[in-house]
Structure 1
Amino acid sequence: MKILITGSNGMVGKNILEHPKAIFHDFLTPSSSELNLTDFLQVDNYIKKNQPDCIIHAAGLVGGIQANIARPVDFLVTNVDMGRNILMAAKDNNVKNFMNMASSCMYPRHAQNPLKEEMILQGELEPTNEGYALAKIFSTRLCEYINKENPEFQYKTVIPCNLYGKYDKFKPEHSHMVPAVIKKIYEAKQNNSPEIDIWGDGLARREFMYAGDLADFVFYALDNFKSMPQNINVGLGYDYTINEYYEAIAGILDFKGKFIHDLTKPVGMKQKLIDDSKLKSFGWKHQTSLEDGIKKTVEYFKSAVLND
Structure 2
Amino acid sequence: MKILLTGANGMVGQNVLAIASDYQHDFLSPSSSELNLLDAPSVHKYIDKHQPDMVVHAAGIVGGIQANMAKPVKFLVDNMLMGLNILTAANDAGVTRFLNLSSSCMYPRDAVNPLSEDLILKGELEPTNEGYALAKVTSTRLCEYICQENSIRLYKTIIPCNLYGRFDKFDPNHSHMIPAVIRKIDEAKRNNIAEIDIWGDGQARREFMYAEDLAEFIFYALDNFAAMPQNLNVGLGTDYTINEYYQAVSDVVGYTGEFKHDLSKPVGMRQKLIDDAKLKTFGWGYKTSLQAGIQKTYDFYLSEYCND
Aligned to 1:14: 14
Q: Percent identity?
A: 67
Aligned to 1:139: 139
Moved more, 94-103 or 173-182: 173-182
* Structure 1 CA distance for aligned equivalents of residues 305 and 245 of structure 2: 21
Structure 1 counterpart SS, 2:33: coil
* Structure 1 CA distance for aligned equivalents of residues 237 and 265 of structure 2: 28
Aligned to 1:183: 183
Q: CA deviation at 1:155?
A: 0.1
Aligned to 2:51: 51
* Structure 2 CA distance for aligned equivalents of residues 101 and 221 of structure 1: 12
1:205 aligns with 2:205: yes
**Deviation per CA, 1:138-184, whole angstroms, max 9, x where unpaired?**
00000000001112110000100000000001112221110010000
Moved more, 18-27 or 184-193: 18-27
**Which residue identity is paired with 1:192?**
N
Structure 2 counterpart SS, 1:24: coil
Aligned to 1:62: 62
* Structure 2 CA distance for aligned equivalents of residues 72 and 183 of structure 1: 25
Q: CA deviation at 1:24?
A: 1.4
* Structure 2 CA distance for aligned equivalents of residues 305 and 85 of structure 1: 35
Q: How does 1:19-58 map to 2 (within 5 A)?
A: 19=19, 22-58=22-58
Q: Is the 8 A contact 2:4 2:27 kept in 1?
A: yes
**Which residue identity is paired with 1:148?**
Q
Q: How does 1:101-250 map to 2 (within 5 A)?
A: 101-250=101-250
**Which residue identity is paired with 2:158?**
V
Q: Is the 8 A contact 1:21 1:219 kept in 2?
A: no
**Deviation per CA, 1:105-129, whole angstroms, max 9, x where unpaired?**
0000000000000000000000000
* Structure 1 CA distance for aligned equivalents of residues 301 and 222 of structure 2: 30
**Deviation per CA, 1:241-287, whole angstroms, max 9, x where unpaired?**
00000000000111010011111110000000000000000000000
**Deviation per CA, 1:74-102, whole angstroms, max 9, x where unpaired?**
10010110000000000000000000000
* Structure 2 CA distance for aligned equivalents of residues 118 and 256 of structure 1: 43
* Structure 1 CA distance for aligned equivalents of residues 199 and 295 of structure 2: 23
Aligned to 2:78: 78
Q: CA deviation at 1:306?
A: 2.2
Moved more, 91-100 or 20-29: 20-29
Q: Is the 8 A contact 1:16 1:22 kept in 2?
A: no
Structure 2 counterpart SS, 1:19: helix
Aligned to 1:290: 290
Q: Is the 8 A contact 1:104 1:162 kept in 2?
A: yes
1:93 aligns with 2:97: no
Q: CA deviation at 1:225?
A: 0.1
Q: CA deviation at 1:64?
A: 1.2
| RMSD across aligned positions (CA) | 0.9
Q: CA deviation at 1:20?
A: 5.2
* Structure 1 CA distance for aligned equivalents of residues 251 and 6 of structure 2: 36
Q: Is the 8 A contact 2:113 2:274 kept in 1?
A: yes
**Deviation per CA, 1:207-253, whole angstroms, max 9, x where unpaired?**
00000000010000000000000000000000000000000000011
* Structure 2 CA distance for aligned equivalents of residues 147 and 284 of structure 1: 24
Q: CA deviation at 1:22?
A: 4.9
* Structure 1 CA distance for aligned equivalents of residues 307 and 97 of structure 2: 39
* Structure 2 CA distance for aligned equivalents of residues 195 and 67 of structure 1: 24
Tell me the number of residue pairs that the alignment of Structure 1 and Structure 2 aligns.
308
Q: CA deviation at 1:63?
A: 1.2
Aligned to 1:276: 276
* Structure 1 CA distance for aligned equivalents of residues 174 and 230 of structure 2: 30
**Deviation per CA, 1:180-212, whole angstroms, max 9, x where unpaired?**
100000000000011111101100000000000
* Structure 2 CA distance for aligned equivalents of residues 171 and 243 of structure 1: 20
Moved more, 219-228 or 64-73: 64-73
* Structure 2 CA distance for aligned equivalents of residues 20 and 155 of structure 1: 21
